[in-house]
Amino acid sequence: MPGRRKACFVTALTSRTELDIDPDKLRESVVELLERHPLVFEGTRQLALQHRPEATDPWYEGCQRQSLISSDSDFTEVHGELRDTYLGEVFDRLPFKPIRTRIMALDPKYCYSVHRDLTPRYHLAVTTSEHARFVFIEHDKVLHIPADGDLYYVDTRQLHSAFNGGDDMRIHIVFGTDGESK
């Protein structure tokens, strides 16, 4: 697949894959998209980039808690509006087939509850700060994902949280997986 490269580092919880994504173009594309389709939910803002084939609210139905929606694997359709855009190119460069991809943002001075996801996730940071981190509770590990244009596998099946202790919103594109991709 285009852009596919070997993982640059691997730990029990994370790995990084270079995708040659231009961080500035990525930010611009996300900002333009969010002008047309705003993020929903206070604190943990989201916008779905993939939807179910029969979706009635395709930009937002995948933004609910995992337990409140159908299976992640149902969210396979990339929005047609993203074709021929830089975000569409990002999807084309992925070394796996994503599911339930969302833009997820954490407001400044906000954190998620401690939880486990059913499958791992890949994160592509759009905007962040050194004060935005993942915390893996049972492993006593803290992880920062830089906005460097690389893709980060995160084993979110492990008990974790994320917080944004910075002054600006932290925005990631979060790609779901079937659990077999790494």
The annotation places the binding site for succinate at 112, 123, 170
Binding residues for 2-oxoglutarate: 112, 121, 123, 170
Strands 141-143 and 170-176: unpaired
CA distances from 102 to 6, 12, 116, 155 (A): 24, 24, 17, 17
Binding residues for Fe(3+): 89, 92, 115, 117, 140, 160
Report the SS3 class of residue 2. Answer: coil
Binding residues: 89, 92, 112, 115, 117, 121, 123, 140, 160, 170
Quick count: other Cβ atoms within 10 Å of Cβ 59? 21
